[in-house]
Amino acid sequence: LQTRTKRHRWYPKILKNQDPIVVSLGWRRFQTRPVYSIQDHNMRQRMLKYTPEHMHCHATFYGPLAPPNTTFIATQGATDKKTSSFRIVATGVILGLDKTIDVVKKLKLTGTPYKIFKNTAFLKGMFSSVLEVSKFEGAMIKTVSGIRGQVKRALSAPPGAFRASFEDKIQISDIVFLRCWVSVDIPKFYTPVINLLTEDKTWSGMRTVAELRREKGEAIPVKQDSIYKEIERKQKVFKPLVVSKSLQKNLPFKTKPKVETKRKKQLYLTKRAVVSEPGERRLTTLMQQLLTAQKESDKKKLEKKNKEKEKYLSEQAKI
């Protein structure tokens, strides 16, 4: 069943993907595990880990046949008597019956080169078998430095290695990654609730992961790789571009390197002494005196301004 679902505004939490819920659809009540998704602008059904807070999303799950536009409500559990909050977790409407719906999620694969031949490189660590490489032949890959490439063919050894071509030569220290979409299987779980939700507690459905952890007293597992850390990257120092003298002769003047090399001997222009005339010396002395007087005047103005500011602040503090 493909449905449009929204978390109930009175329910204090958001719903987790593939957590079991009890759905009341028509005269049937059943427990199922929905997969939440949202439709992108290109009609792709992108999986969501949690339901949006104030927005509709799609929920796909297994259930009985129901015509489109049939409304339903969902609760988290049928026999939980300790719930002090609002019990209805979500409401929705049936959009259609479609078994071929494809819900996808992002997948990012990384690999490293171990042999480089100009614009071609052999990569490993991204796939584990030749079959996986054959599925991604022609896929676009990219290095961290921004050089784009393409998956070409699988290699015989090591397992999962492949040949790739790039638009420029990559380095052995580069990390190559592939962004793709992978399909998510819809859990084939459907359990009818046949006791009409009575108080005898004879029916016990599937519990959520949070309830199981709460009963066993287990903490939420923390993956060390998922913890954000400060990234420290060494600054790469690239070799300077060296153009041979034979190539410089054939280049036009505008493209020739015009950076002068450091001279061992000083030129005549740098060694010669500059002797000014008496009129020029008097003019230079006058300008220096004027600049010194101007600096002294500015300094006195600044001191006077600072004193007035301190006096004003002290008066304001007394008020």
> Is residue 260 pLDDT above 80, yes or no?
no
**What pLDDT is recorded for position 307?**
94
What's the pLDDT tens digit per position in 109-166? 999 999 999 899 999 999 999 999 998 999 999 999 899 999 999 998 889 999 999 9
Residue 163 to residue 179: CA distance in whole angstroms = 17
**Portion of the chain with pLDDT greater than 90, in percent:** 55
Across residues 64-75, what is the average pLDDT?
92
CA dihedral 31, 78, 205, 71 (to 10 degrees): 0
CB 55 within 8 A of CB 24: no
Identify the H or E element spanning 132: helix 130-135
The whole-model pTM stands at: 0.64
Across residues 283-292, what is the average pLDDT?
94
Coil, helix or strand at residue 141: strand
What's the pLDDT tens digit per position in 209-242? 888 898 899 998 888 888 888 888 888 888 888 8
Q: What tokens were used for 71?
A: 């409304």
> Is residue 81 pLDDT above 60, yes or no?
no
CB 90 within 8 A of CB 7: yes
**What pLDDT is recorded for position 204?**
75
The amino acid present at 201, given as its one-letter code, is: K
Q: How confident is the model at residue 80 (pLDDT cuts 50, 70, 90)?
A: low
